[in-house]
Amino acid sequence: MKTTEARLSKGLDYYKATMGQVEFLEHPDAEVTFELKNRATTRLSEFVSPAQLQTRLAALQDGWQPDEIAYLASLQNQDGTAQFTPEYLDFLTDNPLPPVDISLDKRGDLAVTTTGPWPLVTFWETVVMSELNELYFANKLAAEGSSLEELYAEGDRRLDEKIAILKDRPDIKFSDFGTRRRFSYDWQRHVVERIATELPDNFTGTSNIFLAHKLGLRPIGTFAHELPMVYAALADKDGENPLDGHNRVLQDWERRYHGDLSTALTDTFTTDFFFTDFTPEQAERWKSLRHDSGDPIEFGDRVIDFYENLDIDPKEKTIVFSDGLDIDTIIELADYFKDRINVIFGWGTTLTNDLGVKANNFVMKAVNVDGMPTVKLSDAEGKHTGPEYKIDLYKEKVARAVGHRAMKELVAA
């Protein structure tokens, strides 16, 4: 399982490329800052030094290689047109990634930031996360004298159990979403190769660009919180209501992908706001909604009610569940929503980092664009991000938008 070849796309989720194209077409000059945030009390610097991580990332800063660009160029939309334009691919070919600044913060933990043109700096998010995890776990095992072979054996034992369960459930469809928080690239590849071979009726593809390319799998991904967060901050910078940026994302996405990749993420500014902002016409056109925070049962029931109130058959739509999944939750959700709405699962940490070692809990988020802070209002209160004064401003605007919609519905009734 040992691989040393440095490739940017080994640490890239597909949504980074699909988002990157929209960023290139719509906001190529926006300067965005990404910043690492460790949500755990355990310090990442215990097993990774700034110099180690800097060396690791320096090997990837040249950016996209010709074979990776050729793979992106081969991908097509459903109508047979190229998914990525020649102009965008030329841009990726011609530009290295911005530099990454790595140091220790006040509590002695890793501080990682990077600033640059949005369509380039975006790629560091999943790369920093996956490379940091790789170093962390390798160094941790070495420091503790643990056996990698024994760890892999335990990982395979746990994977055996998942595979045995899912072989009896061909109705459950899932994709690998595990790049950012994987144990290592080699382990992710091993897991993906096994499930692609042993669960062909369940497995729909991988978010990892390199694995999709090398293993002939379907690349999976649309857009993440980053896109509406930055769009909102750009609207805020221009003196507009930042929430106006949310629907602009949906409009720009449709204009670029013409109905392909039509999975909308609902919780950037709370799901309450999403259903206020998502028009009936968009509900007709978009094929699926992605759940990433809050109670998944409540969310699914609400989605079904939303579609039924618009006289849209929920069975023609799909929910993508992607928040903190494990095998038990996947089965529970599949059974609960059976014959009510289609469901698919984006399976992350407990698929690619379940070997008996505690997974890390950190994120790499876009925190600023052209001097304006970004904000995320998750359906889970603890996952809000941004300066407090901006969070309060967004909350106020969300409450006003949701209340205005409720009042209109009350008057109409």
pLDDT at 144: 96
Cβ atoms < 10 Å from Cβ of 201: 12
Q: Strand, helix or coil at 203? A: strand
Q: What's the CA dihedral at 170, 155, 212, 132 to 10 degrees?
A: 140
pLDDT in tens, the chain (413 residues): 444 588 999 999 999 999 999 999 999 999 999 999 999 999 999 999 999 999 999 999 999 999 999 999 999 998 899 999 999 999 999 999 999 999 999 999 999 999 999 999 999 999 999 999 999 999 999 999 999 999 999 999 999 999 999 999 999 999 999 999 999 999 999 999 999 999 999 999 999 999 999 999 999 999 999 999 999 999 999 999 999 999 999 999 999 998 899 999 999 999 999 999 999 999 999 999 999 999 999 999 999 999 999 999 999 999 999 999 999 999 999 999 999 999 999 999 999 999 999 999 999 999 999 999 999 998 887 778 999 999 999 999 999 999 876 545 544 44
pLDDT at 190: 98
CB contact at 8 A, 288 and 319 = yes
First to last CA, the chain: 62
Look up the pTM and report it: 0.95
Element containing residue 288 per DSSP (H, E): strand 288-291
CB contact at 8 A, 210 and 12 = yes
The per-residue pLDDT for range 257-274, each reduced to its tens digit, is 988 999 999 999 999 999
